[in-house]
Amino acid sequence: MALEKIRSIKIGFKSKKTENNLDVPQSTDNLDINASPKKKQKKEKKGHRSLTKIDILSKLGLSRTGELIGVDIGTSSIKIGTVKKTKEGYQLTHIAKKTYAENLLTEGHIVDQDFVAHEIREIVTKNNIKSTIAASALSSYGAIIKKIRLPLSEDMDIEKIMKNPSILEETGLIITEIENSIPFQLKEVYYSYHVLGLDPEDENFINVLFVVSKKEIVDGFIDTFRMAGLKLVLLDLDLISLINIVEQIYGLHGSPVMIVDLGATVMNMAIVKGPYIDLTREVMLGGTYLTEQIQKALKAGYLEAEEKKIKADPEITYLFEDFIFNISSEINKTINFYLSTKPNESISKIFITGGGSLLEGIIDKIYNDTNINIEIIDPFLIVGGEAAVKQNVYKEYREFIPVALHLSTRIDDIVR
Ligand SMILES: Nc1ncnc2c1ncn2[C@@H]1O[C@H](COP(=O)(O)OP(=O)(O)OP(=O)(O)O)[C@@H](O)[C@H]1O
Ligand SMILES: [Mg+2]
């Protein structure tokens, strides 16, 4: 049975709903974001484009347009960023985030599409964002990412495949691999794949990365954006976006690096070597779990517990220890597993992001346990670095905005 790729966006307009606004601190108004006087922007990296980019929604015949709105829908927040391309590189044009007490996602699904659509619309309007095209990312939790090795038959050579990857589908190998890797029926999913190249360990094989997501999750995103008055033109995976932004900013690494996103409900990890994603792992543990522990200990509501956590109130910091221990040991487990399969490798750096990475003591603990240098991903390096944006914007967004900003830079992938 043939799998379905998304070729067009379907129409599914539903009425908007405006209730249950669950605001925690937010800054969705039109911000003065760029520092002045303007510093020279970092030159955009030319040349190598990532090999790992996966679009579940492929290019959709767009006319030339100025900005692509990057929208990262996390479990606890919506983050929006837009960049504009100038001669000196990208310039930040809009940035916004809004946080919610109730989960926006569950197992990758948008829980309440009407609500999320309304919220996106409101953020876009408040920020005076004029563009109507958007790029978003599925939570890796709602998708299956897998690297597979396929035998290279005699009549196929790698150049031919790289030029025209769809010939792989004709062999049926890809479809069989996907079918064997998913706990669903084929007709329930959309898929996308990317040929990574020859297997470095055995040139009779090629490595292919594929992503599969349930149709209802993808359709939910498409419908939500439509309801928000936006056209969703590109749908990535949050983890793949992060891998790509690390590459975009810090370049390719000869030795393996780890990327960790500590979110509200999921910690996403990847180990990447050069253009290859060697391993990905999601663990259902995030900042919300700690907030719930604080709620229980104090018999307090969500907002109070969340505030105390963010301020590292001495009354509750004793609760941090176990949580941090668990996060750090999951990172260690991932590293140890990886090294057990690749005993000659070592991880040279851990790139970290996500709101959970702001928790007091967490980075020190990870460093102490792993003895690996840790770098907080600085997404603003895409738009000229810390000096190019206001200090408050830099502080408030650094850990939250990488995916949204990266998505916005993907305008290059959709403008023809
Ligand atoms: N200063 C801080 N100290 C500790 N935790 C923080 C801080 N600021 C935010 N957080 C926590 O970060 C989490 C939100 O991070 P983020 O926005 O990266 O998650 P998300 O994208 O909404 O969730 P997910 O990726 O799991 O779907 C929340 O649990 C929040 O409490
Ligand atoms: Mg997230």
Domain hosting residue 370, numbered range = 257-376
Is the residue at 2 inside a domain?
no
pLDDT for 12: 18
Q: Among the listed ranges 47-56, 329-338, 358-367, which one has the minimum average pLDDT value?
A: 47-56
Distance 99 CA to ligand 1 centre (A): 9
Kindly report the average pLDDT of the chain as a whole number.
84
Is position 34 within any domain? no
Residue 40 lies in a domain: no
Q: Which of 212, 227, 245 marks a domain boundary?
A: 212
Q: Which of 95-109, 143-157, 206-220 has the lowest mean pLDDT?
A: 143-157
Same domain, 206 and 292: no
- Of the bound ligands, which one is closest to the alpha carbon of residue 284? 1
CB 365 within 8 A of CB 300: no
- Both 343 and 285 in a single domain? yes
In this structure, which residues have their CB less than 5 angstroms from ion ligand 2?
A: 74, 263
User: Is the CB of residue 239 less than 8 Å from the CB of residue 232?
Assistant: no
Give the closest residue (by CA) to ligand 1 atom 15.
355
- Mutate which of 22, 26, 27, 76 to test ligand 1's pocket (most atoms within 8 Å of Cβ)? 76
Element of type H or E holding 71:
strand 69-73
Indicate the pLDDT class of residue 10, thresholds 50, 70 and 90.
Answer: very low
Specify whether 207 is located in the same domain as 264.
no
Helix (H, G, I), strand (E, B) or coil at 324: helix
Per-residue confidence at 28, pLDDT binned at 50, 70, 90?
A: very low
Minimum CA distance residue for ligand 1 atom 4: 359
Say which residue, 80 or 44, is predicted with more confidence.
80
CA–CA dist 211, 143 (Å, integer): 7
In a domain, 291, yes or no: yes
Same-domain check for residues 269 and 355: yes
The CA-based diameter of the chain, rounded to the nearest angstrom, is 68
Q: Distance, CA 75 to ligand 2 centroid (Å)?
A: 7
Is residue 207 domain-shared with residue 296, that is, in the same domain? no
154: confidence class by pLDDT, cuts 50, 70, 90 = confident
217, 309, 327, 400, best to mutate for ligand 1 pocket (most atoms within 8 Å of CB)? 309
> Angle at Cα 39 formed by Cα 33 and Cα 45, nearest 5°?
95
Q: For residue 318, what is the domain's CATH number? A: 3.30.420.40
The reply to whether 277 and 372 lie within a common domain is yes
Whether residues 267 and 372 fall in one domain: yes
DSSP state of 317: G
Residue type, 39: K
Q: Across residues 274-279, what is the average pLDDT?
A: 86
* Same domain? 265 vs 204: no
Whether 79 is in a domain gets the answer: no
User: Which ligand is nearest the CA of 288, by number?
Assistant: 1
Report the candidate in 172, 155, 156 with the shortest Cα–Cα distance to residue 164: 156
Asked whether residue 222 is domain-assigned, the answer is no
In a domain, 293, yes or no: yes
Q: Does 370 share its domain with 290?
A: yes
Nearest ligand (C-alpha, residue 320): 1
Are 261 and 372 part of one and the same domain?
A: yes
Q: For position 200, which CATH number holds?
A: 3.30.1490.300
- Give 21 or 222, the one with higher predicted confidence: 222
Distance 8 CA to ligand 2 centre (A): 26
Domain shared by 262 and 357, yes or no = yes
CA quadruple 100, 92, 245, 234: dihedral sign: positive
Distance 370 CA to ligand 1 centre (A): 23
At 210, give phi and psi (nearest 5°): -125, 155
Total domain count, the chain: 2
Q: What is the pLDDT of residue 253?
A: 86
Reported as a pLDDT band with limits 50, 70 and 90, residue 34 is: low
Residue 406 gets the label, from left (phi > 0), alpha (psi -120 to 50) or beta, of: alpha
Separation of alpha carbons 63 and 248, rounded Å: 25
Which whole-number Å values give the CA distances from 30 to 178, 273, 302, 386, 399, in the listed order?
Answer: 44, 39, 28, 19, 20
pLDDT per residue over 216-231, tens digit each? 999 999 999 999 999 9
Distance of CA 385 from the midpoint of ligand 2 (Å): 22
Question: Do 192 and 296 lie in a common domain?
Answer: no
| Residues flanking ligand 1, CB < 6 Å | 74-77, 105, 139, 263-266, 286-288, 291, 306, 309-310, 354-356, 358-359, 400
Q: Is residue 310 part of a domain?
A: yes
Instruction: Kindly tell me if the per-residue pLDDT of 101 is higher than 60.
Output: yes
Q: Which residue has the tokens 């939500």?
A: 224
Give the tokens for residue 208: 């292919």
